[in-house]
Structure 1
Amino acid sequence: MPRRIQQEDLADSLARALQFISHHHPPDFVRAMRRAHAAETHAPAKAAIEQILVNSRLAALGRRPLCQDTGVVQVFLRVGVEVQFGRRDGQAPVALQRVADEAVRRAYTDPINPLRASMVRDPLGERRNTRDNTPAIVHTELVDGDRVEVLVAAKGGGGDVKARFATLNPSDSVANWVIEQLPGMGAGWCPPGVLGIGIGGSPEQAMLLAKQAVFEPIDIDALRQRGPADAAEALRLELHERINALGIGAQGLGGLSTVLDVKVATAPCHAATIPIALVPNCAATRYIRFTLDGTGPARFEEPDAELWAGIPDRFEMPDATAVDLNLLDRQTVASWRVGQTLLLSGRVLTARDAAHKRLVDLLERGQPLPVDLRGRVIYYVGPVDAVAGEAVGPAGPTTATRMDKFVGAILSQCGVLAMIGKAERSAQTVADIRRHGAAYLAAVGGAAYLLSKAIRAARVVAFDDLGMEAIHEFELREFPVTVAVDAKGRTVYRFIEARTPAPE
């Protein structure tokens, strides 16, 4: 007899799952981060990991997103061949893509916990935001049985943009290829996290293997204790050790933990090739699995509060230097030193890719800007919409390198004093920062809810039609950052020194 499963149950389960994972890390990730924090000896990296842990606790308690990038929804369905889909409303079943999109729309527009819409249509044209984060990315596999097994993930752009693929020769070293990718990937994927490695199959199969691998439980410590049983497990151990020895560390700040685990999935391939793909998962690790058997929608249990025992509800920086942004001048910026921790209070402006492009286009046409940037600090952020009692929703930094192409014009023509983002800058940008006596400040990616609590007021001041990419003015109070590039062009990101020339 076929097993009848209602599509409404699938949609309800997906919507509930997306809300749940928006504010809950998987328990194995929290435990792994706690181990990394306990072992870390490099102060900037230890502080970054602590912020991620505090953020994890606060997001679970507040039921608000872990990260402002609430992810592209990716749904992996294993549908038993004995399953028969139906609908409670008596209508004919619809395509599973429509079911997933209905769930995404419901989850991302939930008024109690709205999630940021990041999907755009027409990728080569206007790139207009869909406003509800649809469509989902749906993968469906027919398997034996009478159940529907579901893996749902919300994958942030910072991880997927760092994905890599190559076709190696059979005599090439897979481990060496992976190690060669890490410095070029930078810190935009918010390490420490999990790397998924897909080996074999065809190109698209290798990428899918790597993507799915990052959602396997973290168990590298257990593997190390029992030893590898096959070549794939031996590769995991080798890569885990060699990657962490690179010294990239948490947020690229150095230290012991760049990866928490390395997952390897394999498939048969052509004798003349080794297709290999690499996909990282970031500090906003969000996924969950469930099974539908026809008895109703899935239920998701809250993790035991003991998971966060001992983690404080705020992050303290006793050695940080207080900075009043409303009185900031170039002399103060020049006094900052790379690696120094600051607590920022006062007004900042926000701007991401779309806003920067509009600003530079206006400059090139000789037209006035909608907001005066002289003497200001720009924060690279696209926040989540606020709910009652919030000035703004979770608002962590986005990857700064995407704005590098605009920095020369913004610094030379607008008089900006500093920028806030995450991850490293290009050699040219470092040179521009030095030339203009500016600075680049790093906030912790993956600590968005924690950081939002330092934002006391927010208003849109330009480009309202861009949604989360509009220019906002934030009022900050003790917003924590690290001086990542100082006015002399010195950078905290040591791992890039071997592959980029020093600034002139």
Structure 2
Amino acid sequence: VGMDVRWGGFTGSLDDAINEGVRRGYNHPDNTLRASVVADPQFDRKNTKDNTPAVIFTEIVPGDTLEVTVAAKGGGSENKSKLVMLNPGDSVVDWVLKTVPTMGAGWCPPGMLGIGIGGTAEKAALMAKESLMDDLDMHELQARKASGAELSKVEALRIELYEKVNALGIGAQGLGGLSTVLDIKIKMYPTHAASKPVAMIPNCAATRHAHFVMDGSGAVYLDPPSLDLWPDVNWTPDYNKSKKVNLDTLTPAEVASWKPGDTLLLNGKMLTGRDAAHKRISDMLAKGEKLPVDFTNRVIYYVGPVDPMKGEAVGPAGPTTATRMDGFTEMMLAETGLIAMIGKAERGPVAIEAIKKHQSAY
């Protein structure tokens, strides 16, 4: 925020104005977006219906313009954020290489890692998040290194981490491969002589952020990215190597016949539900209440679809991180008749044991 900016057109605080913009953006009638924010994070966790309040950081600088960075991020990668208070002599590289494998695949690699070093705990975390707003330039950095150009210490550290993280072999969606990160970003700040706080925040490939400047002359209009920027993708299933599955007539015996690595072509109806739905099911079963739907021989997809818009058959329905349902898996398989689950990334030991026990599938 420029020190010479003069405000008009709204009452209340700057945060109030920002939250009103968020409210209008997410509830725009032409393109309603998912409402994901819950108030009272510890107890009721009631959805605010419009993704407010936003998490807002404001800095006062010289000038008479307003520069805004907006970032919309889901929980899949955000929930894998890490913070550590290292000793001054500890290796950041060693910590990163030890930590990344523990993050699983729920952050949807390949993506970016933002690293904040220094300041205090909260400053390191903020720097890590801010670094993810920068352009991807690792390919340019590598070209400079190959040309023999001198690199700064931070640039050299970025390349070292990029190469060593990719050498871990985690790969896209954790399925193994050479591309786990597309870039490594690092921001630093002076810190106490006794400290070295380090935060690491991943961003998935769906890195949703926008940047604009307001000078008081009117609204800012941003052109949407051209569809020509997307590569042509031509894919059809290999029917000879795939199994056709009718979800409406699926049986436990058919599920038990599936093997790891099978490609399944699904047709029919599936149920959908995320962690909040599973918690409600758990509470209803504990009270002896009848469930709203029959789960017998059904498959559930870990997703909360957004309402369709403009003639869409279904709104966005990307899978949510499956590990959040791990604690409910035994209950769902043992008490509801559910026989299979669809989701994103790995399952933990508790869920894997339940799947084995009930000869289910994920």
Q: Which residue of 2 aligns with 1:380?
A: 302
Residue 267 of structure 1 and its aligned partner are, at CA, apart by 0.6
- Which residue of the other structure, out of 280, 284, 288, is the alignment partner of 1:366? 288
Q: Write the deviation string for residues 81-138 of structure 1: whole angstroms up to 9, x where unpaired.
A: 1222222xxx6x5311111111111111111110011111121221111111111111
Equivalent residue letter for 1:165: L
Structure 2 equivalent of residue 225 of structure 1:
143
1:117 aligns with 2:35: yes
Native 8 Å contact 2:320 2:344 kept in 1: yes
CA contact (8 A) 1:153 1:286 kept: yes
Residue 432 in 1 paired to residue 350 in 2? no
**1:140 paired residue number:** 58
Question: Which one of the candidate residues 97, 112, 134 is aligned to 1:179?
Answer: 97
Q: Of Structure 1 and Structure 2, which has the larger fraction of its residues in strand?
A: 1
Higher helix residue share: 1
Partner deviation per Cα, 1:153-199 (whole Å, 9 max, x = no partner): 11111121111101101110001111111121111111111110000
Equivalent residue number for residue 284 of structure 1: 206
Give distance in 2, aligned partners of 1:98 and 1:260: 36
- 1:305, CA displacement in angstroms? 4.1
Query: Is residue 2:46 matched to residue 1:128?
Result: yes
Match of 1:417 in 2: 339
Matched, 1:164 2:86: no
Equivalent of 1:100, from 9, 18, 22?
Answer: 18
| 1:208 counterpart (97, 113, 126) | 126
SS at match of 2:280: helix
Whichever residue aligns with residue 317 of structure 1, its letter is P
Q: Give, in whole Å, the separation in 2 of the partners of 1:316 and 1:98.
A: 49
159-168 vs 363-372, which moves further = 363-372
SS of equivalent to 2:220: coil
TM-score, length-normalised on structure 2? Answer: 0.94
Q: Quick one: distance in 1 between partners of 2:227 and 2:127?
A: 33
**Alpha-carbon displacement from aligned partner over 1:415-467 (angstroms, at most 9, x marks no partner):** 21100010100112111111111000xxxxxxxxxxxxxxxxxxxxxxxxxxx
- Residue number in structure 2 paired with 1:322: 244
SS in 2 for 1:139: coil
Deviation for aligned residue 1:363: 2.4
Q: Point out where structure 1 has 5 or more consecutive residues left out of the alignment.
A: 1-78, 441-504
Separation in 2 of the partners of 1:117 and 1:98?
18
1:339: how far off?
1.9
Residue in structure 2 matching 1:299, options 205, 209, 221: 221
SS of residue matched to 1:143:
coil
Q: 2:8 aligns with which of 86, 95, 114?
A: 86
Secondary structure of 1:85 counterpart: coil
Q: 2:112: which partner in 1? A: 194
User: Following the alignment from structure 2 to structure 1, what is the Cα–Cα distance between the partners of residues 237 and 159?
Assistant: 35
Q: Deviations over 1:387-411 (max 9, x none)?
A: 2423321111100000000101111
Q: Distance in 2 between matches of 1:185 and 1:239?
A: 16
Normalised by the size of structure 1, how large is the TM-score? 0.68
Q: Does 1:237 align with 2:155?
A: no
Structure 2 unaligned regions, length at least 5: none
AA matched with 2:242: A
- Distance, in Å, in 2 between the alignment partners of 1:305 and 1:433 is 41
Q: Kindly provide the amino acid, as one letter, of the partner of residue 304 in structure 2.
A: G
- Correspondence 1:393 to 2:311: no
Counterparts in 2 of 1:181 and 1:296: CA distance versus 1, 3 Å: same
Alignment of 1:467-478 (within 5 A): none
CA RMSD of superposed structures (Å): 1.5
Rounded to whole Å, the distance in 1 between the matches of 2:247 and 2:96 is 42
Cα 1:325–1:102 change in 2 (3 A) is: same
State the Cα distance separating 1:213 from its structure 2 match.
Answer: 0.5
Structure 1 residue runs of 4+, over 6 Å off? none
Q: Deviations over 1:53-73 (max 9, x none)?
A: xxxxxxxxxxxxxxxxxxxxx
Match of 1:482 in 2: none
Query: Per-residue displacement from partner, 1:3-39 (whole Å, max 9, x unpaired)?
Result: xxxxxxxxxxxxxxxxxxxxxxxxxxxxxxxxxxxxx
Amino acid at match of 1:256: L
1:345: how far off? 0.5
Work out whether residues 156 and 284 of structure 1, in 8 Å CA contact, stay in contact via their aligned partners in 2: no
Shift of 1:316: 2.4
SS at match of 2:114: strand
The verdict on how the C-alpha distance between 1:214 and 1:328 changes in structure 2, with shifts beyond 3 A counting, is: same
Number of residue-to-residue matches in the alignment: 356
Contact 2:109/2:174 (8 A) holds in 1: yes
- Whole-Å separation in 2 of the counterparts to 1:154 and 1:116: 11
**What's the secondary structure of 1:86's corresponding residue?**
coil
Distance 1:217 1:408 in 2: 44
Identity of aligned residues (%): 54
SS in 2 for 1:428: helix
CA–CA separation in structure 2 for the residues paired with 1:396 and 1:145: 42
Whether the 8 Å CA contact 2:112–2:181 is kept in 1: the answer is: yes
Answer yes or no: is the 8 Å Cα contact 2:40–2:46 preserved in 1: yes
Aligned to 1:149: 67
| Matched residue type, 2:82 | R
Alpha-carbon distance, 1:309 to partner:
4.4
Cα distance in structure 2, aligned partners of 1:268 and 1:377: 52
Correspondence 1:19-30 to 2 at 5 A: none
